[in-house]
Structure 1
Amino acid sequence: MQQFPLLPRELTPESVLCALQGRRGAANGATARDLVFIITGKVSGAEERRLRQIIEKLRCDGHPICAHPALGYHFAATASELEATCMFLTRRMVTTGRQVAAMNRVAMPDFYGQLGLPQPTDDEEIEQ
Protein backbone atom coordinates (compact mmCIF):
# COMPACT_ATOMS: atom_id res chain seq x y z
CA MET A 1 0.00 0.00 0.00
CA GLN A 2 1.41 3.37 -0.99
CA GLN A 3 1.52 6.02 1.72
CA PHE A 4 0.83 9.60 0.73
CA PRO A 5 3.07 12.31 2.18
CA LEU A 6 0.22 14.40 3.62
CA LEU A 7 -1.29 11.56 5.62
CA PRO A 8 -0.12 10.99 9.21
CA ARG A 9 2.75 8.55 9.42
CA GLU A 10 4.73 6.69 12.01
CA LEU A 11 7.85 8.22 13.54
CA THR A 12 10.78 6.55 11.79
CA PRO A 13 14.22 7.78 10.78
CA GLU A 14 12.90 8.08 7.22
CA SER A 15 9.82 10.10 8.18
CA VAL A 16 11.93 12.42 10.35
CA LEU A 17 14.42 12.99 7.52
CA CYS A 18 11.54 13.67 5.15
CA ALA A 19 10.00 16.21 7.54
CA LEU A 20 13.36 17.96 7.97
CA GLN A 21 14.11 18.18 4.22
CA GLY A 22 12.28 21.49 3.89
CA ARG A 23 13.78 22.84 7.10
CA ARG A 24 17.23 24.04 6.14
CA GLY A 25 18.66 26.82 8.23
CA ALA A 26 17.86 28.11 11.70
CA ALA A 27 15.07 30.35 10.40
CA ASN A 28 13.15 27.21 9.37
CA GLY A 29 13.47 25.27 12.62
CA ALA A 30 10.58 23.37 14.18
CA THR A 31 10.04 22.30 17.77
CA ALA A 32 9.88 18.61 18.69
CA ARG A 33 6.16 18.99 19.28
CA ASP A 34 5.63 20.55 15.84
CA LEU A 35 7.67 17.86 14.08
CA VAL A 36 5.76 15.09 15.83
CA PHE A 37 2.48 16.70 14.77
CA ILE A 38 3.70 17.19 11.19
CA ILE A 39 4.70 13.54 10.94
CA THR A 40 2.01 11.75 12.96
CA GLY A 41 -0.88 14.20 13.07
CA LYS A 42 -1.01 14.05 16.85
CA VAL A 43 0.74 15.53 19.88
CA SER A 44 2.31 13.15 22.37
CA GLY A 45 5.06 13.53 24.94
CA ALA A 46 6.08 9.92 24.37
CA GLU A 47 6.36 10.56 20.64
CA GLU A 48 8.48 13.67 21.30
CA ARG A 49 10.88 11.48 23.29
CA ARG A 50 10.92 8.97 20.42
CA LEU A 51 11.68 11.83 18.00
CA ARG A 52 14.67 12.88 20.12
CA GLN A 53 15.95 9.30 20.10
CA ILE A 54 15.59 9.11 16.32
CA ILE A 55 17.40 12.44 15.89
CA GLU A 56 20.21 11.17 18.12
CA LYS A 57 20.55 8.10 15.88
CA LEU A 58 20.43 10.18 12.71
CA ARG A 59 23.16 12.45 14.06
CA CYS A 60 25.27 9.39 14.90
CA ASP A 61 24.74 8.31 11.29
CA GLY A 62 26.22 11.65 10.18
CA HIS A 63 23.13 13.72 9.33
CA PRO A 64 23.74 17.44 10.08
CA ILE A 65 20.63 17.98 12.20
CA CYS A 66 20.92 21.16 14.21
CA ALA A 67 18.83 22.14 17.19
CA HIS A 68 18.56 24.74 19.89
CA PRO A 69 15.66 25.38 22.28
CA ALA A 70 15.12 28.82 20.76
CA LEU A 71 15.41 27.66 17.13
CA GLY A 72 14.00 24.14 16.92
CA TYR A 73 15.28 21.29 14.75
CA HIS A 74 16.59 21.95 11.25
CA PHE A 75 19.23 20.82 8.80
CA ALA A 76 22.41 22.87 8.85
CA ALA A 77 22.43 25.39 6.03
CA THR A 78 25.97 26.55 6.78
CA ALA A 79 29.10 25.26 8.48
CA SER A 80 28.62 27.87 11.22
CA GLU A 81 25.15 26.51 12.05
CA LEU A 82 26.58 23.02 12.38
CA GLU A 83 29.42 24.32 14.54
CA ALA A 84 26.97 26.21 16.78
CA THR A 85 25.01 23.00 17.36
CA CYS A 86 28.19 21.06 18.11
CA MET A 87 29.19 23.71 20.65
CA PHE A 88 25.71 23.65 22.22
CA LEU A 89 25.88 19.85 22.57
CA THR A 90 29.41 20.04 24.00
CA ARG A 91 28.30 22.57 26.61
CA ARG A 92 25.45 20.29 27.62
CA MET A 93 27.90 17.42 27.91
CA VAL A 94 30.21 19.47 30.17
CA THR A 95 27.29 20.55 32.37
CA THR A 96 26.12 16.94 32.65
CA GLY A 97 29.68 15.84 33.45
CA ARG A 98 29.84 18.35 36.30
CA GLN A 99 26.63 16.95 37.76
CA VAL A 100 27.85 13.34 37.50
CA ALA A 101 31.21 14.22 39.06
CA ALA A 102 29.53 16.08 41.94
CA MET A 103 27.04 13.27 42.65
CA ASN A 104 29.89 10.75 42.69
CA ARG A 105 32.03 13.12 44.73
CA VAL A 106 34.80 13.01 42.15
CA ALA A 107 36.89 16.04 41.23
CA MET A 108 36.39 17.21 37.65
CA PRO A 109 40.03 16.57 36.66
CA ASP A 110 39.67 12.97 37.89
CA PHE A 111 36.32 12.61 36.15
CA TYR A 112 37.74 13.81 32.83
CA GLY A 113 40.75 11.54 33.30
CA GLN A 114 38.49 8.52 33.87
CA LEU A 115 36.79 9.27 30.57
CA GLY A 116 40.11 9.81 28.81
CA LEU A 117 39.16 13.41 27.98
CA PRO A 118 41.31 16.52 28.33
CA GLN A 119 39.90 18.90 30.93
CA PRO A 120 38.55 22.09 29.33
CA THR A 121 40.21 25.37 30.20
CA ASP A 122 38.30 27.89 32.32
CA ASP A 123 37.20 29.89 29.25
CA GLU A 124 35.73 26.72 27.68
CA GLU A 125 33.66 25.84 30.75
CA ILE A 126 30.08 26.92 31.03
CA GLU A 127 28.66 29.25 33.61
CA GLN A 128 26.11 27.50 35.79
Structure 2
Amino acid sequence: MKYARDQQHAITPEAVLAALQRRIGKANGATATQLVIELAERASAADERRLRDCVVFLRTQGHPVCALPAHGYFIAANEDELNESCQHLLERAKTSLQQAFAQKRVAMPDLAGQLRLPVTAAQGNTDHE
Protein backbone atom coordinates (compact mmCIF):
# COMPACT_ATOMS: atom_id res chain seq x y z
CA MET A 1 0.00 0.00 0.00
CA LYS A 2 2.94 2.33 0.55
CA TYR A 3 3.58 2.30 -3.23
CA ALA A 4 0.08 3.64 -3.98
CA ARG A 5 0.42 6.39 -1.38
CA ASP A 6 3.85 7.43 -2.71
CA GLN A 7 2.57 7.51 -6.28
CA GLN A 8 -0.43 9.64 -5.30
CA HIS A 9 1.92 12.17 -3.74
CA ALA A 10 3.78 12.34 -7.07
CA ILE A 11 0.87 14.45 -8.33
CA THR A 12 1.65 17.78 -6.70
CA PRO A 13 1.34 21.29 -8.11
CA GLU A 14 5.13 21.45 -8.44
CA ALA A 15 5.32 18.13 -10.29
CA VAL A 16 2.41 19.07 -12.57
CA LEU A 17 4.01 22.42 -13.38
CA ALA A 18 7.34 20.73 -14.16
CA ALA A 19 5.61 18.25 -16.47
CA LEU A 20 3.67 21.01 -18.21
CA GLN A 21 6.79 23.13 -18.69
CA ARG A 22 7.92 20.40 -21.07
CA ARG A 23 4.65 20.91 -22.97
CA ILE A 24 4.76 24.45 -24.29
CA GLY A 25 2.11 25.21 -26.89
CA LYS A 26 -1.11 23.43 -27.74
CA ALA A 27 0.63 21.20 -30.29
CA ASN A 28 2.48 19.64 -27.32
CA GLY A 29 -0.54 19.16 -25.06
CA ALA A 30 -1.31 15.97 -23.16
CA THR A 31 -4.51 14.47 -21.84
CA ALA A 32 -5.12 14.16 -18.10
CA THR A 33 -4.53 10.41 -18.35
CA GLN A 34 -1.21 10.90 -20.15
CA LEU A 35 0.00 13.39 -17.54
CA VAL A 36 -1.07 11.19 -14.63
CA ILE A 37 0.77 8.20 -16.11
CA GLU A 38 3.83 10.39 -16.63
CA LEU A 39 3.72 11.55 -13.00
CA ALA A 40 2.43 8.51 -11.11
CA GLU A 41 3.16 5.64 -13.52
CA ARG A 42 -0.52 4.63 -13.38
CA ALA A 43 -3.89 6.25 -13.93
CA SER A 44 -7.13 6.31 -12.02
CA ALA A 45 -10.10 8.62 -11.70
CA ALA A 46 -8.77 9.79 -8.33
CA ASP A 47 -5.35 10.56 -9.84
CA GLU A 48 -6.96 12.56 -12.64
CA ARG A 49 -9.07 14.48 -10.10
CA ARG A 50 -5.88 15.30 -8.18
CA LEU A 51 -4.26 16.50 -11.41
CA ARG A 52 -7.24 18.76 -12.14
CA ASP A 53 -7.08 20.17 -8.61
CA CYS A 54 -3.39 20.94 -9.15
CA VAL A 55 -4.19 22.65 -12.46
CA VAL A 56 -6.80 24.84 -10.75
CA PHE A 57 -4.27 25.75 -8.05
CA LEU A 58 -1.59 26.60 -10.62
CA ARG A 59 -4.02 28.79 -12.56
CA THR A 60 -5.02 30.66 -9.41
CA GLN A 61 -1.30 31.30 -8.84
CA GLY A 62 -1.08 32.94 -12.27
CA HIS A 63 0.53 30.15 -14.30
CA PRO A 64 -0.69 30.06 -17.93
CA VAL A 65 -1.89 26.46 -17.72
CA CYS A 66 -4.21 25.88 -20.64
CA ALA A 67 -6.54 23.05 -21.61
CA LEU A 68 -8.46 22.50 -24.80
CA PRO A 69 -10.44 19.35 -25.66
CA ALA A 70 -8.56 18.74 -28.90
CA HIS A 71 -5.11 19.39 -27.40
CA GLY A 72 -5.15 18.51 -23.71
CA TYR A 73 -3.17 20.37 -21.07
CA PHE A 74 -0.23 22.63 -21.95
CA ILE A 75 1.49 25.90 -21.08
CA ALA A 76 0.51 28.74 -23.38
CA ALA A 77 3.17 29.51 -25.95
CA ASN A 78 1.66 32.90 -26.70
CA GLU A 79 -1.20 35.25 -25.85
CA ASP A 80 -3.48 33.77 -28.53
CA GLU A 81 -3.27 30.30 -26.95
CA LEU A 82 -3.93 31.74 -23.50
CA ASN A 83 -6.92 33.69 -24.81
CA GLU A 84 -8.30 30.60 -26.57
CA SER A 85 -8.04 28.58 -23.37
CA CYS A 86 -9.62 31.36 -21.27
CA GLN A 87 -12.47 31.59 -23.77
CA HIS A 88 -13.01 27.84 -23.42
CA LEU A 89 -13.19 28.23 -19.62
CA LEU A 90 -15.70 31.08 -19.96
CA GLU A 91 -17.89 29.01 -22.31
CA ARG A 92 -17.85 26.12 -19.82
CA ALA A 93 -18.87 28.49 -17.04
CA LYS A 94 -21.67 29.90 -19.19
CA THR A 95 -22.93 26.38 -19.95
CA SER A 96 -22.91 25.49 -16.25
CA LEU A 97 -24.85 28.65 -15.41
CA GLN A 98 -27.40 27.94 -18.13
CA GLN A 99 -27.95 24.45 -16.74
CA ALA A 100 -28.37 25.75 -13.19
CA PHE A 101 -30.84 28.42 -14.28
CA ALA A 102 -32.77 25.90 -16.40
CA GLN A 103 -33.03 23.47 -13.48
CA LYS A 104 -34.44 26.25 -11.32
CA ARG A 105 -36.60 27.43 -14.23
CA VAL A 106 -35.27 30.95 -13.84
CA ALA A 107 -34.69 33.19 -16.84
CA MET A 108 -31.04 33.32 -17.82
CA PRO A 109 -29.61 36.86 -18.02
CA ASP A 110 -27.73 37.81 -21.14
CA LEU A 111 -24.27 36.56 -20.17
CA ALA A 112 -22.55 38.65 -22.82
CA GLY A 113 -23.40 41.89 -21.00
CA GLN A 114 -25.31 41.59 -17.75
CA LEU A 115 -22.84 39.55 -15.71
CA ARG A 116 -20.17 42.22 -15.88
CA LEU A 117 -19.69 44.22 -12.71
CA PRO A 118 -20.03 47.99 -13.03
CA VAL A 119 -16.68 49.70 -12.59
CA THR A 120 -17.71 53.34 -12.38
CA ALA A 121 -18.92 54.82 -9.08
CA ALA A 122 -17.71 51.98 -6.86
CA GLN A 123 -14.09 52.42 -7.88
CA GLY A 124 -14.11 56.18 -7.50
CA ASN A 125 -15.69 56.20 -4.04
CA THR A 126 -12.97 56.58 -1.40
CA ASP A 127 -15.16 57.85 1.46
CA HIS A 128 -14.80 54.56 3.35
CA GLU A 129 -11.00 54.41 3.19
When normalised by structure 2's length, the TM-score is: 0.78
- Structure-2 change in CA distance of 1:17 and 1:111 (3 Å): closer
CA RMSD in angstroms comes to 2.6
- Structure-2 change in CA distance of 1:8 and 1:54 (3 Å): closer
Work out whether residues 21 and 75 of structure 1, in 8 Å CA contact, stay in contact via their aligned partners in 2. yes
- Kindly state the Cα deviation for residue 116 of structure 1 after the two structures are TM-superposed: 6.5
- Write out per-residue CA displacement over residues 42-83 of structure 1, whole angstroms, 9 at most, x where no aligned residue: 111110011011101110111000111110100000100000
Work out whether residues 9 and 39 of structure 1, in 8 Å CA contact, stay in contact via their aligned partners in 2. no
Identical aligned residues as a percent: 50
- Structure-2 change in CA distance of 1:35 and 1:99 (3 Å): same
User: Structure 2: 5+ residue runs without aligned partners?
Assistant: 1-6, 119-129
Aligned residue number for residue 51 of structure 2: 51
Could you list the runs of 4 or more consecutive aligned residues of structure 1 that deviate by over 3 angstroms after TM superposition? 115-118
Matches within 5 A, 1:29-44: 29-44=29-44
- Write out per-residue CA displacement over residues 72-109 of structure 1, whole angstroms, 9 at most, x where no aligned residue: 10000010000000000000111110000011111112
Aligned residue number for residue 121 of structure 1: none
- Structure-2 change in CA distance of 1:96 and 1:117 (3 Å): farther
- Kindly state the Cα deviation for residue 13 of structure 1 after the two structures are TM-superposed: 0.4
Aligned residue number for residue 69 of structure 1: 69
Larger radius of gyration: 2
User: Structure 1: 5+ residue runs without aligned partners?
Assistant: 1-6, 119-128
When normalised by structure 1's length, the TM-score is: 0.78
